Structure 1
Amino acid sequence: MNNFNFHVPTSILFGEGQISHLPEALQTYGQNVLLVYGGGSIKKNGIYQKVMELLGTDFTVTELAGVEPNPRLETVIKGAELCRQENIGVILAVGGGSTIDCAKAIAAARYYDGNPWDFTQNRGLVGEAIPLVTILTMSATGSEMNGGAVITNLATNEKLGMGGQSLLPKVSILDPTYTYSVPAVQTAAGSADIFSHLIENYFSRNTSASVQDRIAEGIMKTVVNYTPIALATPTDYEARANLMWSSSLALNGLTGKGKEGTWSCHAIEHELSAFYDITHGIGLAIVTPRWMTHVLNEQTVGQFVEFAVNVFGISREGESFDIARQGIKALYDTFTSWGIPMTLPEVGIDDSKLRLMAEKAVEHSTIADAAFVPLSVDDVEAILKASF
């Protein structure tokens, strides 16, 4: 296990009704609040009204609505300017990962004189940031408990990551009932996103971090168990609670610290989202089993066997490659059973940009050198072709 620093000081307020603590969570940082949210679902489900009721006249609220599913650079710039104009002391992000990611980029951009896109080229540019409080409405990205974010530049067809310790949310309110109204397709996509975060850390060049791997397997099994329940009964509190907490634990560093290697499936999917603006979790579900099949070899088969046996309960008796392939098929079948489209044409992607996206995936990451199995442009193109 490699050396690591694990420090996640986010205060988690978990459970039904925890929004009642919102005023005290905000007042530590100031009375001028930037409220960031997406397409308006929080007004339909009553969360917006509850937030405004709790803030009352004690806070001055400036709103930034309409954050995109793949948050755009222009929205970040707009939010940063609002923060300067209104002397914002704290940002309140209400929504899923896209909203929280956008809020993080705004928090850093407020104190940066250049183009916020620079953060995706050099994370060292992320310095001082406005404090961030979040209210999570979708179980998926884990952004409520980490310092990372992903933003999109439509002008260059790029979707890239940024982050820094200063972007860790100060407080995150996790009320599972706020995910009751999430549509089935988004619930499934969110669970696929959670699963992908775990897989990206699980399949690592470092095979000695057993604690992290056993935790990851447990969370994976939890997602497999509770996603069908949440899909069948959207108001099942136990299912929603377990998925929500799985989302946070999957990407707060718990399963990735002490390991090494860069993420492969995310690097590939970010290009799909950048060029076609598809749902991130759907793209990951399509790519991941194909990536697994592509990198299965004599050196990696042992880890795939552990995945098959420990996550999906496949018998260890038999030939290793057969067990590994059964595990990959079990994951594919799981995604299919959740109603996720499992080919690129089903989400509107043809073969006209496959080579370009493969080139960009390699250009924008270190998958050619530092991945679990290094991937060339030809490798990525082959994985994308296998996704048809």
Structure 2
Amino acid sequence: MDNFTFFNPTKIDFGTGKEQLIGQHLAEHGINKVLLCFGSERIKRDGLFQTVSKSLAEHGIEFVEFGGIVSNPLLSKVRDGIALARGHQVGAVLSVGGGSVLDSSKAIAAGVAYSGEVWDLFIGKATINAALPVFSILTLAATGSEMNSGAVVTNEDSKEKFAIQSVHTFPRVSIVNPALMQTVSRDYLVYSAADIIAHCIEGYFTATVQPTLHSRMVEAIVNTVIDTTETLLDNPADYPARAEFAWAATQALNGLLYAGTAGFNYPNHMIEHALSALFNVPHGAGLSVIMPAWMKWYHGRNPAQFQRFAKQVFGVDTAQQGIAALEAWFDKIGTPTRLSQLGITEADVPAITDVVLGNAQWFGIADIYTREVVVEILKLAR
């Protein structure tokens, strides 16, 4: 196990009805006005908006609405949120939604505290030295953003999808009520499953130092996701399965799986970011296409770990069988495994490759992921 410092200041309030406590949490942090960020009007139709606004009012907290945040959140929307937050002099940002809303909220919080162009924070031209406090109520389990400091945003002009990360952008409190996730569509449930698995396997397969404890934790999370996804596809109202799925999503990217690992990178996310930046495909759908293709290309570089994955997750013997089993499971649950299923053709490969090569520079792995390698992986995904 490598040396590490683990820090996670986020308080998780987990369970049914916990969204009613958001006003109390904000008041305990001395907040009296928030920018309330959300996606669609669904939170108003299903009553969540009313529950939140009532809780805020009971604690004397004003709010400014900022809706319309979309999946694969956009830089232009973040800029709008920054302007609104500054104009109303809010003291915090409250995210009510899934990972895209929370990522936008973190970017807005950091952007308000920075005097320059917020994209500077994503491309390394400036560092995050402060941010407004961030709070969240989660309605979709997938990204783990509720308990980490990362935020991913797409610059629609440059077609770049990059991230920020800072001690200042951890949510102060995240409320996770699995009951709020029962209306998630079938498609987004299976896309979420793929996203969680991707968060687990990036370090699991690429780390040069991977403690056995962490491998076991990854395998437990992946097996939990597989089991609970199948349960939820049969019965979306199964609260125990929904709760385990949600907590697995949080655990997959709150830092625990990577504390003590070393030498890992995120090639699946690096490649997928090009797909969602160029074609606006759902992030998890893009990952379920890229993961099996990347695994077919990469497995010979870490054969023992791929064999372990095959045995511990799917009960098969070889790396190739394990990869085939994961791909078959993705097919079974209905998340894509081919670029063609995303409407992406061979003619699109050069443009994708160009964006991936830029991403590889940002991720710091351009020496491994050359044009030839990227084209080969994309060929395996066709």
Q: Which TM bucket (shorter chain)?
A: over 0.9
Does structure 1 residue 280 correspond to structure 2 residue 283? yes
The C-alpha deviation readout for 1:241-292, integer Å capped at 9, x for no partner, is: 0110011100011111222222100000000001000000000000100100
Does structure 1 residue 344 correspond to structure 2 residue 339? yes
Q: 2:293 aligns with which of 280, 290, 304?
A: 290
TM score, norm. by length of structure 2: 0.96
Counterpart of 2:49, as a letter, is Y
State the partner residue of 2:307. 305
Does structure 1 residue 377 correspond to structure 2 residue 379? no
SS in 1 for 2:207: coil
Q: 2:328 aligns with which of 333, 347, 352?
A: 333
How far apart, in 2, do the equivalents of 1:205 and 1:189 lie? 25
SS in 1 for 2:206: coil
How far apart, in 2, do the equivalents of 1:191 and 1:293 lie? 20
State the partner residue of 1:90. 92
State the partner residue of 1:174. 176
Counterpart of 2:303, as a letter, is V
Alignment of 1:22-61 (within 5 A): 22-27=22-27, 28-56=29-57, 58-61=60-63
Could you tell me how far 1:13 is from its partner in structure 2? 0.4
State the partner residue of 2:83. 81
SS in 2 for 1:104: helix
Does structure 1 residue 270 correspond to structure 2 residue 264? no
SS in 1 for 2:151: strand
The C-alpha deviation readout for 1:219-256, integer Å capped at 9, x for no partner, is: 11100111011111111001110110011100011111
Could you tell me how far 1:374 is from its partner in structure 2? 2.6
The C-alpha deviation readout for 1:130-149, integer Å capped at 9, x for no partner, is: 00110000010000000001
Does structure 1 residue 387 correspond to structure 2 residue 381? yes
Residue 94 and residue 368 in structure 1: after superposition, are their counterparts in 2 closer, same or farther (change >3 A)? closer
How far apart, in 2, do the equivalents of 1:327 and 1:377 lie? 27
Q: Is the 8 A contact 2:202 2:264 kept in 1?
A: no
Return 5+ residue gaps in structure 2 as ranges.
none
Normalized per residue, which structure has more helix? 2
User: Percent sequence identity over matched residues?
Assistant: 36
Does structure 1 residue 18 correspond to structure 2 residue 18? yes
The C-alpha deviation readout for 1:328-354, integer Å capped at 9, x for no partner, is: 011001111111122112212122231
Count residues with an aligned counterpart: 379
Could you tell me how far 1:153 is from its partner in structure 2? 0.8
SS in 1 for 2:154: strand
Residue 365 and residue 258 in structure 1: after superposition, are their counterparts in 2 closer, same or farther (change >3 A)? farther
Residues 54-63 or 130-139, more deviating: 54-63
Residues 38-47 or 211-220, more deviating: 38-47
Q: 1:358 aligns with which of 336, 340, 353?
A: 353
How far apart, in 2, do the equivalents of 1:35 and 1:369 lie? 35
Counterpart of 1:284, as a letter, is L
Could you tell me how far 1:29 is from its partner in structure 2? 3.5
Residue 168 and residue 367 in structure 1: after superposition, are their counterparts in 2 closer, same or farther (change >3 A)? closer
Q: Is the 8 A contact 2:31 2:91 kept in 1?
A: yes
Q: Is the 8 A contact 2:286 2:336 kept in 1?
A: no
State the partner residue of 2:219. 217
* Runs of 4+ with >4 A deviation: 366-371
State the partner residue of 1:247. 249
Q: Is the 8 A contact 1:195 1:220 kept in 2?
A: yes
